[in-house]
Structure 1
Amino acid sequence: MWDGGDAYERYVGRWSRPVAVEFLRWLDVPPGRSWLDVGCGTGALTETVLAHAGPSSVVGVDPSAAFLELARQRVSGATFEVGSAVDLGERQADVVVSGLVLTFVPDVARAVAEFARVGSYVGSYLWDYTSGMQMMRLFWDAARDVDPAAAAQDEGPRFADVSDPEALHGFWAGAGLSDVAVTGIVVPTVFRDFADFWEPFEGGIGPAPAYAATLPVEQRDAIRDLLRSRLPAEGPISLTARAWAVRGSR
């Protein structure tokens, strides 16, 4: 599901960059700190840290070698390594961040505890899958209308226990972090036309595209056509995406 960096960029990577900028502005970390980006993917957050946070150093870790290959091509000034926070020593960085990661780890409480072990200041953000990430919500609503079995794959219900402000606050407090705060970040997601909106869902990267790839052509086309009928017929398609951001310190 996460093997193609270019497909990921077309799907949600391009929208994660403006979220990362607002996230760092909200974190308000002084310059000169060492940073660790856990689950760095194609390097969107790592690149933003380099551009906006004045770090002394930045390390990005991710289990996907394919994503890291693309990150190395696109981002200079950072070190990228295959791995996760579990592989790192205590207090290895001043700041530990993660972007769009926590919904895909099997044990969120343990992951946040590892973040807190490795760094002194911990922040993260993830999409509001229940309603705030409009492109995904539109897709799953159409998919469920065409294929009732899509309900089992719908990211809204699946990630509701993580993609929630109160839940995020609880994970951070439970890891022993203090001064915990949660906020919403909303960014525009403007697609040139319907093709720009739909084509990423055919890339197979991420839960919705991976689900679409399993369908017979007839069902996939039916979802596409239903979405086309629900979106503007011509010109740009202007939507928004909301992410929940959380921070805390030791």
Structure 2
Amino acid sequence: MGRWSRAVAASFVPWLRPADGWRWLDVGCGTGALTAVIADGCRPRTVAGVDTSPGFVAAARDAGPAAAGFAVADASALPIADGSCDAAVSGLALNFFPDQRGAVAEAVRAVRPGGTVAAYVWDYTDGMQFLRLFWDAAVATDPAAGAVDERRRFPACHPDALRTLWSAAGLAEVVVVPIEVPTSFGDFEALWGPFGLGQGPAPGYVATLDPSARERLRRALRRIVPARPDGSIALTARAWAVRGRRPDRPRAV
């Protein structure tokens, strides 16, 4: 999934209409794809990424921009002062936060009045075409697979849910838009191969299968994937992006 993250980030960051000199916080930064786009294109005063995974943070430090700082921290307990950022953002991580409301509330606390809180998540309903095809094939060969389909597991990855979450946190001028990127594969094996790597819900499901069940799934997926005459596969992936502004004054209770 990471290979597509930076492509989405490249569209997401300009959509925020950032100014030079902003102080940025990337919550759930993973290996630093969004942080790198910010550092490379926004002339930030500061940019920091936090994640609960020490492994991801170590990878971000090794591969990320020298100007960025990274730390292990929970999205629901950010180790920064109130109002110390101009923008708190999150890329492809919100649906993995155990306390999404708490995470958004912490992001609001972290930004100054007038600051931006924004995120993007994959559209697991039908916008991630190669994942939708995968789960359709998985359920066709194993009806129990429906219980771990991201469409069911991540209901927050929907425009209405995102808008509600941002509005409930007291953010103003909430906007949700789609961001679509191409996902191309040289052949079927290029699409199938990453499902065997064990990282993420779909590969995690594949890892539970015995060899015969895995082969049934591979064949079922191959039958429904739309390949070109040369064997290449051209699909698209859609993310939903949401942004809101912290009001200059607290909302009346």
TM-score by length of 1: 0.92
How far the C-alpha of 1:228 sits from its partner, in A, is: 1.5
Question: C-alpha separation between the residues in 2 aligned to 1:28 and 1:135?
Answer: 31
1:190-242, CA deviations, whole angstroms, 9 ceiling, x for partnerless residues? 11211211111111111111111011111111111111222227432111000
Aligned with 1:239 (options 231, 235, 246)? 235
| Runs of 4+ with deviation above 4 angstroms | none
Would you say 1:78 and 2:78 are equivalent positions?
no
Amino acid across the alignment from 1:78: A
Amino acid across the alignment from 2:84: Q
Structure 2, unmatched stretches of 5+, are 247-253
1:15-65, CA deviations, whole angstroms, 9 ceiling, x for partnerless residues? 011100110111111111010000000111000111122211110001111
SS across alignment from 1:37 = strand
How far the C-alpha of 1:84 sits from its partner, in A, is: 2.5
Question: Is the helix fraction higher in 1 or 2?
Answer: 1
Question: C-alpha separation between the residues in 1 aligned to 2:18 and 2:119?
Answer: 13
Would you say 1:165 and 2:159 are equivalent positions?
yes
Would you say 1:112 and 2:104 are equivalent positions?
yes
Amino acid across the alignment from 1:37: D
1:47-86, CA deviations, whole angstroms, 9 ceiling, x for partnerless residues? 0111122211110001111112221222122111111231
Question: C-alpha separation between the residues in 1 aligned to 2:102 and 2:120?
Answer: 17
Q: Which has the larger radius of gyration?
A: 2
Question: C-alpha separation between the residues in 1 aligned to 2:94 and 2:107?
Answer: 11
Question: C-alpha separation between the residues in 2 aligned to 1:230 and 1:50?
Answer: 40
SS across alignment from 1:132 = coil
1:50 alignment partner in structure 2: 39
1:92 alignment partner in structure 2: 84
Q: Is the 8 A contact 2:78 2:106 kept in 1?
A: no
Would you say 1:29 and 2:18 are equivalent positions?
yes
How far the C-alpha of 1:126 sits from its partner, in A, is: 0.1
1:248 alignment partner in structure 2: 244
Q: Is the 8 A contact 2:119 2:242 kept in 1?
A: yes
Q: Is the 8 A contact 2:120 2:240 kept in 1?
A: yes
Q: Larger deviation: 226-235 or 52-61?
A: 226-235
1:156-215, CA deviations, whole angstroms, 9 ceiling, x for partnerless residues? 12212x111111111111111111111000010111211211111111111111111011
Question: C-alpha separation between the residues in 1 aligned to 2:214 and 2:238?
Answer: 26
Structure 1, unmatched stretches of 5+, are 1-11
Would you say 1:191 and 2:164 are equivalent positions?
no
Aligned Cα root-mean-square deviation (Å) = 1.2
Would you say 1:182 and 2:198 are equivalent positions?
no
Question: C-alpha separation between the residues in 2 aligned to 1:80 and 1:187?
Answer: 27
Question: C-alpha separation between the residues in 2 aligned to 1:110 and 1:122?
Answer: 13
Aligned with 2:124 (options 116, 119, 129)? 129
Q: How many residues align?
A: 238
